[in-house]
Amino acid sequence: MNKESKKPIALLLCATHNDLGLVRALRKLGYYIIATGNKIDTLGKRWVDKWLPIDYSDKEKILEIAKKYEINAICQCCNDFGVYTAAYVAEQLGLPGYDSYENTVILHNKDKFKKLAKQYGILTPDSKGFIRKEAAKFEICKMHFPVIIKPVDASAGNGITKVEAEEEIDEALDYAFANSKSNRIIVEEYISGKQYGFCTFIKDRKVVAIASNNEYSMLNPYRVEIDTWPADTYDSCEKILVEKIESIANVLQLEDGIFHLQYIYKDGKPWIIEVMRRILGNMYSVLANQLNGFDWDYWEVRAKCGLDCKDFPVKSKQEGFYAYKTVLAEANGKIADIKIPRCYQKYIFSEYWLLNVGDIVENNLKQPIGFLFMMFSSREEMEDVLINSYKSDLVKIEKLA
């Protein structure tokens, strides 16, 4: 019998605002929840049974904890390093629900995924990988500008720079290497076009559900600020993207669960730039749940805990028009006021706030203050309100002395 509880024990690797749906799902499934994290103020720790202040990217330490508490399941979080650790621990302990650690690393490292994509005819921007700055600089000088320089193992836009001239290379390389835990980067050809998300659930290596969206990065070009559902390119991209996902799932013998990709649409073709096997940031599932009519977090948790997905709602469709807006500040400082524009108010059906008046914004381009979840009657209305009439001044900042 488990030391902590008569309930089965699940180890959840983080509990930020993005992971709250996982906490809810684990509760619904009757697990005793042990959660980890390296931030003392993590929001979700108040709703778990036991909180351990441990860095979830330390896979050996997490394995030690998993053995100590005799866990029955491990649940990854909304971070690629959580995916690595969960896959590693699952493999070491023989727990179900995860791809092999080797395949997890392939999918979540940009250089390794690029190699896989080229091998199997997946359209993706050309790129080169580097482990040393001088070698990267030498090769970049021979490339056609602009290029994108990014770490192979970072998310949320960290470490990415678009380089348009030789004099920008040094700073961009330093930034990319500084944001890579593995000290590896890629340099990628720049593809000009609109960016999209394509979230799927795979069951028995077949795509059984899709949530597609447009991605808009306004204040920070490398951090998604607004998503709108469904994608305006869905009809032209669905078949080819599903085919590629199922091809990867069969080649790598992937387990059930979420398979998400991002692509840039150019000249009538989707150029795949990144893939991941985890829930998404910006509380993505809040609106994906509305769009599809089922709980994405619940089914992802079932899959990751090794429970069957035989009753998954395979006939779900994308219905309605939904969007979120990440509320960001235009500068750093103390929040003096937050004001929701009148033109937004009739569309908002839910809000979630991470910071409030009096709190300090330390990195305005990356630090979300809150999220506005909205529903519209048409795509045209949605785009007119959020994109054509874009507003960035919801937060009034008082500069610190």
Task: Please choose, from the candidates 236, 218, 204, 82, the residue with its C-alpha nearest in 3D space to the C-alpha of residue 153.
Answer: 82
Same domain, 258 and 112: yes
The verdict on residue 2 lying in a domain is: no
Extract the tokens encoding 378: 């048409």
Same domain, 314 and 245: yes
Same domain, 255 and 183: no
Can you give the pLDDT at residue 1? 40
Same domain, 290 and 330: no
Same domain, 296 and 396: no
The verdict on residue 4 lying in a domain is: no
**Low-confidence residues in the chain, pLDDT < 50:** 1
Same domain, 31 and 89: yes
The verdict on residue 287 lying in a domain is: yes
- DSSP H or E segment with residue 33: strand 32-36
The verdict on residue 3 lying in a domain is: no
d(CA 309, CA 306): 9
Whole domain around residue 54: which residue ranges?
9-95
The residue assigned the tokens 């678009």 is 162
Long-range contacts of the stretch 100-109 (C-beta < 8 A, 24+): 100/252, 100/253, 103/252, 103/253, 103/254, 104/277, 106/252, 107/248, 107/252, 107/275, 107/276, 107/277, 108/80, 108/83, 108/84, 108/153, 108/275, 108/276, 108/277, 109/152, 109/153, 109/182, 109/184
Domain count, the chain: 4
The residue from 141, 163, 189 where one domain ends is: 189
Identify the CATH number of the domain in which residue 396 sits.
3.90.1170.30
Identify the CATH number of the domain in which residue 170 sits.
3.30.1490.20
Can you give the pLDDT at residue 30? 97
Same domain, 200 and 311: yes
Same domain, 53 and 154: no
The residue from 141, 158, 189 where one domain ends is: 189
d(CA 104, CA 100): 6
pLDDT tens-digit map of 24-66? 999 999 999 999 988 777 788 899 999 999 999 999 999 999 9
Question: How many residues are there in the chain?
Answer: 401
The verdict on residue 66 lying in a domain is: yes
- Please say whether the beta carbons of 151 and 179 come within 8 A: yes
Can you give the pLDDT at residue 41? 72
